[in-house]
Amino acid sequence: MSNDLNQECVVGLDAGGTRTRAVFAAAEDGRVFGEGAAGPGNALTVPVPRLTDHLVEAIAQAVPEAARARVVAVAGGFAGATAASTEEPGHVNARTALTAALRRLGIPADRVRICSDIEAAFASAPGTPADGLALVAGTGAVALRITDRRSTATVDGDGWLLGDDGSGFWIGRSAVRAALRMADRRGTATALAVSVGRALGVPDDALPGDGDWSRGHREAYRMHVLPAVMAELPIRLARFAPLVVEAAGEKDAVAEGILDEAADQLTATVRALNPAHGERIVATGGLLGPEGPLTVALTARLRTLGLTLDWVPDGCRGAVALARLAHDGDDR
């Protein structure tokens, strides 16, 4: 590391809704020298003083004190911010917090670049693309058109109440809905009734079994499930998504139908951006990727649109690439 301290370096930040990650790398070739992590980094929901503290913690872990004077550029991808408008509240909050954090750490970066966490994830794809489509499918779901490394069109990402179709939340809510519909006889039998019930602490004698599920047991089931769900934040329904994946793996028809519909919803989200045949689409989020439960189904659907997914785990690599570009004078 001692020799590395004598060269110019950059910092890339991926500040999402659950944690903030910092990567310290060489400006010349992007070699990674250090990493750090801290609390949430959403520029709209985390107060600026707390966001500043999280940035300080993550960057301090990644960048040794002796190397801080060598940092020439910093790029941060923040949930709740965008590169498209410097006047947007999330952008202002992110820049304010990052500027304060760098000052506190004694990092004299000449160039500081702010973008969204999705714009940073898009830049994480091979070749650091400037134009194309980005799809996020995790707890929430959103698709963006990226032009000159800035978001120019958005589809969905409307939150649990109004949208996020095909997301982890949507899948988890569908699991509970399917369980309740089996209980009141509006829906068909599904293993989700048992797995959802157990996850919510429904007594064993109220769960459906091999024999007849009596009306009394069905009522007891509903009386346990509904209050348990209502007692939690709605977004917590996303925690039931893995139960759907597990049940689908056991060939439960209802669970398979939920995942198929989720893939259809995400395909519709992408289609709304009017993609050109062969246009690049970069995807991230837990529902996609090598082990993602929707990867195979969504890939097949997008193939009919002439699209192929490039999956990236997060925006760290992209943030480093954007910092290097900023150092080179490319502020797109």
What does the pLDDT read at residue 94? 97
Q: Among the ranges 5-19, 187-201, 317-331, which has the highest mean pLDDT value?
A: 187-201
Residue-wise pLDDT tens digits, 57-91: 999 999 999 999 999 999 999 998 988 888 999 99
Angle at 136 between CA 134 and CA 139, to 5 degrees: 170
List the 281-284 sheet strands across, edge first.
150-156, 141-147, 132-137, 281-284, 309-311
Checking if the pLDDT of 119 tops 70, the result is yes
CATH of domain 131-312: 3.30.420.40
Checking if the pLDDT of 192 tops 70, the result is yes
Q: Compute CA distances 76 → 2, 20, 332, whole Å.
A: 26, 10, 14
Of 251 and 212, the one with more pLDDT: 251
Q: How does 112-141 read in b/e, with b if 16+ C-beta sit within 10 Å? A: bbbbbbbbbbbbbbeebbeebbbbbbbbbb
What are the boundaries of each domain within the chain? 4-124+314-327, 131-312
What does the pLDDT read at residue 3? 60
- Strand, helix or coil for residue 281: strand
SS3 content of the chain, % helix, strand, coil (to 5): 45, 20, 35
Residue-wise pLDDT tens digits, 122-178: 999 999 999 999 999 998 899 999 999 999 999 998 888 999 999 999 999 999 999
What does the pLDDT read at residue 86? 87
Angle at 229 between CA 172 and CA 261, to 5 degrees: 20
131-312 and 4-124+314-327 share a CATH fold: yes
Residue-wise pLDDT tens digits, 286-332: 999 899 999 999 999 999 999 988 999 999 999 999 999 999 876 66
What does the pLDDT read at residue 169? 95
Give residues with Cβ within 8 angstroms of 124, minimum separation 6: 282, 284, 312, 313, 314, 315, 316, 317, 318, 319, 321
What does the pLDDT read at residue 211? 72
- pLDDT (mean) for 78-105: 93
Percentage of residues in the chain having pLDDT higher than 90: 85
- For residue 243, give the nearest of 210, 200, 282 by alpha carbon: 200
What does the pLDDT read at residue 2? 52
Checking if the pLDDT of 212 tops 90, the result is no
Residue-wise pLDDT tens digits, 301-311: 999 999 988 99
| Homologous superfamily, domain 4-124+314-327 | ATPase, nucleotide binding domain (3.30.420.40)
Residue-wise pLDDT tens digits, 213-270: 999 999 999 999 999 999 999 989 999 999 999 999 999 999 999 999 999 999 999 9
Checking if the pLDDT of 54 tops 80, the result is yes
- pLDDT (mean) for 39-68: 95
Asked if 318 and 128 count as a contact pair (C-beta separation under 8 A), the reply is yes
